[in-house]
Amino acid sequence: MSAQPTPYVVIGAGIHGLSTALHLARELRASGGGSGSDVMVLDKTGVGAGASGIACGIVRNNYFQPAMRRLMAHSVEIWESDAGAGAAALGYHPVGYLQLGPEAMRADVRQIHAEQQAIGYESTYVEGEPACRDYMRALFPDWQAEGVTCLLHEKRGGFANNRTSLRGLAAAARAEGVQIRAGVEVTGLDIAASGTVRAVVTDQGAIDCGTLVVAAGPWVRDLWRMLELPALISLRGPDGVLRTDQPMWSYWLVQEGTLKVDPDTFTDSSGAEPPVVHLDTDAPLYDETGGLVTDHPWGIYYKPDHNFGGVQGGGMPRRLDVPPDAVAVDPYGPQHSAYTAGEDFARLWTAGLAHCHRRFTGLSHLFSREPSGGIGCFTPDSFPVFDLVAENAYVIADSNHGYKMLGVGALVAKELLGEPQELLEPFRFTRYEQGALHPTSRSPFPWS
C-alpha cells in the first residue's frame, strides 16, 4: 500500500465501483484536476467476485416510477455507447425487452408505455388477449401462454454477459491508470469526530483517503455500519406519519437458474437472437406431470445466453429473515450454495418456460443444479440510494437494481467533482424522512 494519501478510494470491483472509477478517471483527466492514478478500487476478492459477476445481466427500462425510468434511459445510452470500453469488450446484446402481463397490470403497463414515449424511449404497446397472442406467435410460433392482456416491447435494452462486461470495464479503468487492488478486505474506517473518513482500514494496512466511495453491493450494510450510520431510520409514509424504527436494510434471495439447452436453438421466428422475455401472470401453473405448481400470481424472465451455457433467467425474489443487527454473511463465499434458489424455484421456472413455449415441454431435467442467483440487499422502499452521507463519503446502494445501471458511475463521478446530477436527486437518503418516496404500482408482482 502507498504511504501517500489516495484522493479517491472505491470499495467494490463490481459494476458500480468499476464504472465510477473509470468515469472519475476520465473526468479528472479531462478537467486537468488529476489522473486515473488518483483512483484506487479495493475488493476483498477480485473483479466481479460478488453480485455483478453472477448477474443475469438484463438491461431494461420497464419501471412504473418516472425517476427510475429516466435513470435507466440514461444507462441504456451508456450501454449502447459501449461505455468507452469497446462494444465487444462489454458483451452487450441490444436485443430489446418484452414485458407481458395479465389484466391486473394493463393500466400500469399502458402508462409506462405512454411515459416512455414522452422521453423518446422506443417501445411498442399491445393490449387485449387476442392481439397479444398474435404478436407473440409472430415472434415465437410455439408461443402458448394464455391470459396475457398487455404487452410492452422495448426495442432498446437487452442483456450483457456479466463477466465479459466487468473485465472490459476493469481493462478500460486500468488503461486510464486506475489502481485495482484485489484481495484487500476492508475491516473498518478511521472516522474523525467531524464525521470525515480519514482512512480505510484493511487487512493489509490503512489507506489514507480524500474521498470514499462505497459500491459494495450486498455488503453495503456492513460499510453503512462502519460509517456509523443508523440501522433503524425515520420514514414518513404516504399517510404522512413519521415512523422512527424502520430497518434500513433487508435481504432478498434472488432466484435464478439455467436450462442446459443449446442457446442457439432459442431464436425468434426469423432465426435471430430474441428479446429478453418477462412474463407476469395469474394463470395457474402446472408441471410436466400435470401437477399444480401454483395458483397464485407468478412470474419469470429468460433469454438465451452463451455465457451461462443455455437459456438463463429467474423468478420472483424471496425475502430472507435477516435481523438488522445480525452478523453479516458472505453470500458469495464458500457457502454460496446456501443462498441460491432451491427445488421449488427449479420446478416453477422450468414449468414456466414450458407454459410459454412448446419447445421447453418435458425438459425440466435439464435444469442446472449449479449455484446461481444470490442475495440482494434492499433499502426500505426497494429503490436505490445515491448520496453523500458524510463530508467525504459517497454511498452507492443499488437495492439490487445494480447491473443494468451502468450509467450511474458516470453520474456519480460528476457529483464527486462538484457537479450535482438531476437524475440522482430522487434517490437521496433524505427522501425517507421527508416522505418523498417513489410511486407504487398496482401490480401484485414485487418487481413491478
- DSSP secondary structure of 156-199: S-EEE-HHHHHHHHHHHHHHTT-EEEES--EEEEEE-TTS-EEE
Residue 74: its pLDDT value, please?
A: 95
Phi, psi (degrees; rounded to nearest 5) at 339: -120, 40
Give whole-number Cα distances, 166 to 50, 87, 90, 257, 330, in Å.
Answer: 11, 12, 7, 20, 21
> Mean pLDDT per 10-residue run, the chain (448 residues)?
80 97 96 95 94 90 91 94 61 95 94 94 97 98 97 96 93 96 97 95 97 95 95 92 93 91 97 97 96 96 94 89 54 52 90 98 92 83 95 95 92 97 98 90 65
Cβ neighbours for 125, distance < 8 A, ≥ 6 positions apart:
109, 110, 113, 150, 151, 152, 153
Cβ neighbours for 363, distance < 8 A, ≥ 6 positions apart:
259, 261, 350, 353, 354
The answer to whether the CB of 386 falls within 8 A of the CB of 427 is yes
Residue 84: its pLDDT value, please?
A: 45
Torsion of CA 125, 129, 135, 141, to 10 degrees: 150
For the four alpha carbons of 125, 130, 134 and 137, in that order, the dihedral sign comes to positive
pTM: 0.93
Cβ neighbours for 425, distance < 8 A, ≥ 6 positions apart:
none
User: Helix, strand, or coil here: 107?
Assistant: helix
Residue 339: its pLDDT value, please?
A: 55
Residue 87: its pLDDT value, please?
A: 46
Phi, psi (degrees; rounded to nearest 5) at 245: -125, 35
Cβ neighbours for 407, distance < 8 A, ≥ 6 positions apart:
19, 71, 74, 75, 76, 77, 78, 79
Picking from 161, 216, 240, the residue whose alpha carbon sits closest to that of residue 49 is: 216
Residue 231: its pLDDT value, please?
A: 93
C-alpha cell at 343: 427445488
The CA distance from 427 to 402, in Å, is 14
Cβ neighbours for 289, distance < 8 A, ≥ 6 positions apart:
none
Question: Any idea what DSSP says for residue 264?
Answer: G
Residue 187: its pLDDT value, please?
A: 96
Residue 51: its pLDDT value, please?
A: 87
Residue 334: its pLDDT value, please?
A: 45
Residue 444: its pLDDT value, please?
A: 66
Residue 318: its pLDDT value, please?
A: 83
Strands 158-160, 58-59: pairing is: antiparallel
Residue 3: its pLDDT value, please?
A: 58
The CA distance from 363 to 353, in Å, is 9
Q: Helix, strand, coil proportions of the chain in percent (round to 5)?
A: 30, 30, 40
The answer to whether the CB of 97 falls within 8 A of the CB of 62 is yes
Give whole-number Cα distances, 79 to 25, 52, 70, 71, 384, in Å.
Answer: 19, 15, 15, 13, 19
Domain annotation for the chain: domains and CATH numbers: 6-56+163-231+381-434 (3.50.50.60), 95-158+251-377 (3.30.9.10)
Residue 1: its pLDDT value, please?
A: 46
The CA distance from 125 to 446, in Å, is 22
Q: Residue 93 burial by CB count (10 A; 0-12/13-18/19+): exposed, middle or buried?
A: buried
